[in-house]
Amino acid sequence: MANPEAPGVDDVIAEPGIEPGASAETMLVTTDSFEEYEQEMSNSIDDRQMKESTTSTISELQEDIREAPPTPTAVSPTEPKPEPPDDLELEDNTQQLSLNSLEIDPLRNTTWLAQRKHIFILSQAGKPIYSRHSSEDKLVTLMGVMQALVSFVQAGNDMIRSVHAGDTNFVFVVKGPLILVTVSKTLESVPQLVLQLTYVYNQIVSVLTQSQLTRVYEQRRNFDLRRLLTGSERLIDHLLNFMDKEPAFFLGAIKCLPLLPSMRDAISQTIVQTCGKIKNLVFAILLANNQLVTLVRMKKYFIHPADLHLIQNLVASSESFKTVESWTPICLPKFDSNGFMHGHVSYLAEDCQACLLLLTVDKDVFYSLSDAKQKIVEKLRRTNCLEAINESMNKASITTAEIGLPEMRHVLYKCKSTAQFWSPGFQPPYTTDEEIERLLGLYQCLHHRLHAPNRPLKLIFQQLDKETMLAWVTSGFELYLTFEPLVTKPDAINSVSKLLKWIKKEEERLFILNSPTF
């Protein structure tokens, strides 16, 4: 069980302050802790909205581009934030909810009922917008109940956040004009589920912008949002599946494609040189197999991991990027929730399936970007960079066995100062989807206990039936490890130390340690 005073663990790092992968330079917005990440995910949009007219990053950028004198930014008085509500134990309402539910059709369906995680989105007026496992219009009554529940609690100036019934968590998030609900039988904690719902909300904002979302409901409270969301259901569907199997989301971090630093630098420099003259380009992002190859940014601007996750989701769920060049309006909620960026999105080449996104605030530069992309690809081909990307993409990830750590099965290593993480390839028994999801569930439990707001832990050593888990957080990194079930604590700690040495040795290949700018 948990033991915060495991001896010797702090000796694992010989020289403190040289956490593998640490860097003073970063292109990602970093947060110190999960609570902060979660808070920030939820708050910033509302904060921004309050200051809407004065600080829109995109209009700021457009101003800069026009080289107009900067407009004085009035500081709006910050209103006191309402206290975060406490969780409510609403036993009575829970019962009502399940009673009512039984009278509704899909709820008679056992497969539907057995789904591990439902997600529902409805408007504050109770109109169904989205349901993960069934068509939302069959759930009018259920959504009505949810809406009633939320407004009933809101009327008492309180906010409903979660209800627990047996092994099921009902979690509610009310954001802007929307109510998002999950009914989950997974082991994920309430904050983790809230984070996921916030991601879903951000996905909607990413398609519509916060201001459009607010506007349509101001004009008509009864608006049917599905009209505006047609065609983007796949983004939400994919995001939900993505979050079920990708640790990146709860870690709040990004995984990089392993590459020789010289190759990665060559790629970044090619992008910088080719795009340097295109004034209003804000970010150039190259993704391969969902991992970051490089990110070049305009000086002064950073990208938040949560925004990058939405970009990864867009790429992973859009097949057509592979054949054509797309010109896609995309709102990055953390960057500027009220405006669209325009993304030139395309794969590098038929024989190199890495996806390049060139994000600008200028909607009239498609052909310039298309041209730039062509030149980038030509140069990358000449300098063998395409080959290097392919080689890394096609190579199976190294396993802990191959690193020489026989008792260690798997690990998640997050470097806090760069918001990047690394994980090895899966090996038995984690080779089926179910086993992988189960493992991820274990990591999420550890993650929750490390970050439990009232009693955060630094170290957890936990012997389970099928594996032994170890989690360890320091000021520089977070580590989540899976061992053979019978491993002893000294052996485990010993192999952690070996692992950290290995990561340190490989850090230049596994992580992006600089932050190129245009």
Partner 1 sequence: MYNDMPKVDLKVVLLGSSNVGKTSLLERFIDDRFNENLPNQSTIGAAFASKEVCVNNIKFTLGIWDTAGSERYQSMTKLYYRGAKAAIVCYDVTNLESWERAKYWVRELRSVEETCVVYLCGTKKDILDEGKTATPDLDIVERYAAGIQCKFYLVSNKTGEKTSELFDEISKDYISDPDNLHSVMEAITLTANSKTDSRCCPIG
Binding site for partner 1 (CB under 8 A): 207-208, 227-234, 237, 314, 318-320, 323-329, 342-343, 363-368, 370-371
Q: Which is nearer to partner 1, 325 or 484 (CB)?
A: 325
Phi, psi for residue 280 in degrees, rounded to 5: -100, 25
Residue 229 CB, nearest distance to partner 1 (Å)?
8
CA–CA gap between residue 285 and residue 337 (Å, rounded): 19
Beta bridge partners of 352: 349
CB 112 within 8 A of CB 74: no
How many beta carbons lie within 10 A of that of residue 126, not counting itself?
18
Q: Which is nearer to partner 1, 194 or 225 (CB)?
A: 225
Q: Which is nearer to partner 1, 94 or 370 (CB)?
A: 370
Q: Which is nearer to partner 1, 279 or 509 (CB)?
A: 279
Q: Which is nearer to partner 1, 304 or 342 (CB)?
A: 342
Q: Which is nearer to partner 1, 372 or 408 (CB)?
A: 372
Beta bridge partners of 479: 413, 472
- Of 304, 371, 259, 265, the residue nearest 36 (C-alpha): 304
Residue 172 CB, nearest distance to partner 1 (Å)?
27
Q: Which is nearer to partner 1, 121 or 193 (CB)?
A: 121
- Of 240, 279, 50, 47, the residue nearest 131 (C-alpha): 240
Residue 390 CB, nearest distance to partner 1 (Å)?
21
Q: Which is nearer to partner 1, 17 or 231 (CB)?
A: 231
**In the structure encoding, which two tokens stand for residue 84, read together?**
């975060």
Runs of H (alpha helix) within 168-301 = 190-208, 210-219, 226-229, 233-245, 248-251, 261-275
Residue 223 DSSP SS3: coil
Residue 8 DSSP SS3: coil
Residue 345 CB, nearest distance to partner 1 (Å)?
9
Edge-first strand order for the sheet with 162-165 is 128-131, 117-123, 178-184, 168-175, 162-165
Q: Which residues contact 437 (CB under 8 A, 6 or more apart)?
A: 244, 245
Residue 137 CB, nearest distance to partner 1 (Å)?
17
Residue 228 CB, nearest distance to partner 1 (Å)?
5
- Quickly tell me which residue has 């890394």 as its tokens: 392
Q: Which is nearer to partner 1, 331 or 459 (CB)?
A: 331
CB 285 within 8 A of CB 271: no
Residue 82 CB, nearest distance to partner 1 (Å)?
32
Residue 77 DSSP SS3: coil
Chain CA centroid to CA 125, Å: 29
Residue 505 CB, nearest distance to partner 1 (Å)?
42
CB 232 within 8 A of CB 318: no
**In the structure encoding, which two tokens stand for residue 358, read together?**
């060139």
Q: Which is nearer to partner 1, 233 or 265 (CB)?
A: 233
- Of 480, 474, 486, the residue nearest 499 (C-alpha): 480
Contacts 24+ apart (CB under 8 A), 485-492: 487/407, 489/6, 489/461, 490/8, 491/407, 492/407, 492/408, 492/461, 492/468
Residue 460 CB, nearest distance to partner 1 (Å)?
41
Residue 237 CB, nearest distance to partner 1 (Å)?
8
